[in-house]
Amino acid sequence: MNRNDWWRGGVIYQVYPRSFFDSSGDGIGDLRGVLEKLDYIASLNVDAIWLSPFFTSPMRDFGYDVSDYRDVDPLFGTLDDFKLLVQTAHGRGIRILIDQVINHSSDQHPWFKESRSSRDNARADWYVWAEARDDGTPPNNWLSVFGGPAWTWDSRRRQYYLHNFLSSQPDLNFHCEAVQQQLLDDMEFWLQLGVDGFRLDAANFYFHDRQLRDNPPNHDIREGSIGVRADNPYAFQKHLYDKSQPENLQFLRRIRQLLERYPGSATVAEIGCDQSLKTMAAYTGGGDRLHMAYSFDLLTEQCSPAFLRHTIECVERELGDGWPCWSIGNHDVVRVMSRWALDGRPNLARGRMFMALLLSLRGSVCLYQGEELGLDEAELQYDQLVDPYGLRFWPEFKGRDGCRTPMPWHDGDAHGGFSRERPWLPLGAGHLPLSVAAQERDADSMLNTYRRFLEWRQRQPILIEGAMRVLHHDDTLLVFERRLGEEVWLCLFNLAEAARHFSLPVPVEALDVPSATASFEPAGVQVPAHGFGFARVRG
């Protein structure tokens, strides 16, 4: 807890509170539930927890629609529960980052209620309002990420308001100085309570084009591209004017200036756009903006060695003095065990290999709860869905519920020890045998593999601080180098179902790495199917 730069190479464990552990017996996870499981989180050897939103909210988007930025929703507990969680986590050497959903609020927030009441009230310009076109249609062609126009008519003001997400999530107007200051004050409220920083939701959406210019069509659209789905027209535009505006940089500097007053605090931003790597570089470079950011580049279906090499090399080339945070899963995407499975068949050996790959990249890492158990995507029926995104695009897109199902703590009941009552979402089929209790009884389980690898990683400065260079890729194999001073490592990963032999360009000695499966010989290495290995270059 002494290092102010702990975030460089740090591992952040994302807790989605609704699905982590229910301490109250109402079927919904809560802050006391996180508190009760702190020993478990500490056993993973992570540096920090990222808590998904627990603020007061009508829960139309499950907390990502905030109606009070300074209080805890009763579903999750109380402000005193949060204070105790921070204090107890710090006592175990774990930092706490909290989600800040400041691009938009709930339409139930008092600010929006006042803003929509008239055109001349004190908060009239706190949200993005615009006149209709002469024919009554929205002011421009901007689209919502959740489908349809990004504008909704309000009969009180007789104007349209902007919402990049649900219509119940109106965008705040960051061109208004009072909005910026209010949000910074709200962030400082949590810093004063002891939080160690923030995960910034939709960080490149804050500002919009003042002129409200139309986005041009995206003629480069193709299936398989980041964020592209044929059922959602959002990708049919190049989003030049509704997000990633140049004014954002100065506001990010103001956030950094705030955090500099609280040594050891850090930011990690979510960035989703067509030019995500360039945006990451702009947002994290110079030492006066964000500390780190992650993109959606590894949250897609693609995972070939060629794709991974391209992504890694783009980050290394584009980021400059910025800092990446890598993630292969979170609460918004299909679980990696399913998304990167071969032929739709999750494979635990493959999961271990991707774990080692992720934790060997240069940068920081976000792990999503359940990845350490090898959980796959839960298959839910339409009548089990609650996610508004999934309900809108079913059946072509099944939404985000499948990655948000409850954590299985033991296999003694149908609810997996998550709750005494029926959970808000059912457990995933096949998740009970992967419960924490079951895996703790197995020394070679995925859970214990994560624990050992993370503990070993903490003692390897070369993985925390070292430079990185990709040396080789082909249809099945990815090989990269980590270097720190005179120390040079080779890291090899086989993404295929067949063993691979690789001729080594230099003499090496095998490193004793937890769960590594490669066999090194004087002139080459044998890497089993879904296997990996690390070696030190000699001489």
Burial level of 504, CB count in 10 A (0-12/13-18/19+)? Answer: middle
Our separate counts of H helices and E strands in the chain read: 14, 21
For residue 94, the tally of other CB atoms under 10 A from its CB is: 20
**Domain 467-537 part of CATH 2.40.30.10:** no
Does the model's pTM come out above 0.75?
yes
Burial level of 410, CB count in 10 A (0-12/13-18/19+)? Answer: middle
First to last CA, the chain: 36
Output the pLDDT for position 243. Answer: 97
Active-site option among 22, 73, 99, 201: 201
Q: 95 — phi, psi (to 5°)?
A: -90, 160
Output the pLDDT for position 150. Answer: 98
- CATH class, domain 11-103+176-377, is alpha beta
Measured CA to CA, the distance from residue 49 to residue 31 in angstroms comes to: 12
- Alpha-carbon torsion, ordered 434, 361, 203, 64, to 10 deg: 10
Measured CA to CA, the distance from residue 11 to residue 346 in angstroms comes to: 24
Q: Is 274 helix (H, G, I), strand (E, B) or coil?
A: coil
Measured CA to CA, the distance from residue 369 to residue 403 in angstroms comes to: 10
Alpha helices in 101-210 (DSSP H): 110-115, 177-192
Measured CA to CA, the distance from residue 247 to residue 253 in angstroms comes to: 11
Output the pLDDT for position 224. Answer: 47
Buried b (16+ CB within 10 A) or exposed e, 392-403: ebeeeebbbbbb
**pLDDT (tens place) for every residue of the chain, 539 residues total:** 668 999 999 999 999 999 999 999 999 999 999 999 999 999 999 999 999 999 999 999 999 999 999 999 999 999 999 999 999 999 999 999 999 999 999 999 999 999 999 999 999 999 999 999 999 999 999 999 998 999 999 999 999 999 999 999 999 999 999 999 999 999 999 999 999 999 999 999 999 999 999 999 998 775 545 445 556 899 899 999 999 999 999 999 999 999 999 999 999 999 988 778 889 999 999 999 999 998 888 999 999 999 999 999 999 999 999 999 999 999 999 999 999 999 888 899 999 999 999 999 999 999 999 999 999 999 999 999 999 989 988 988 889 999 999 999 999 899 999 999 999 999 999 999 999 999 999 999 999 999 999 999 999 999 999 999 999 999 999 999 999 999 999 999 999 999 999 999 899 999 999 999 999 988 899 999 999 999 999 97
Output the pLDDT for position 222. Answer: 58
Sheet strand arrangement including 151-154: 129-130, 159-162, 151-154
**CB-based contact 159:129 (threshold 8 Å):** yes
The region that residue 475 occupies, defined by phi over 0 for left and psi between -120 and 50 for alpha, beta otherwise, is: alpha
Annotated active-site residue 383? The verdict is no
Which residue bears the tokens 């940068």?
A: 363
- Domain residues of the chain, as ranges? 11-103+176-377, 467-537
H, E, C per residue of 324-359: EEEECCCCCCCCHHHHCCECCECCHHHHHHHHHHHC
Measured CA to CA, the distance from residue 171 to residue 164 in angstroms comes to: 7
Q: How many CA atoms lie within 13 A of 378 on its CB side?
A: 25
Output the pLDDT for position 290. Answer: 97
Annotated active-site residue 274? The verdict is no
Measured CA to CA, the distance from residue 237 to residue 254 in angstroms comes to: 30
Active-site option among 47, 242, 270, 401: 270
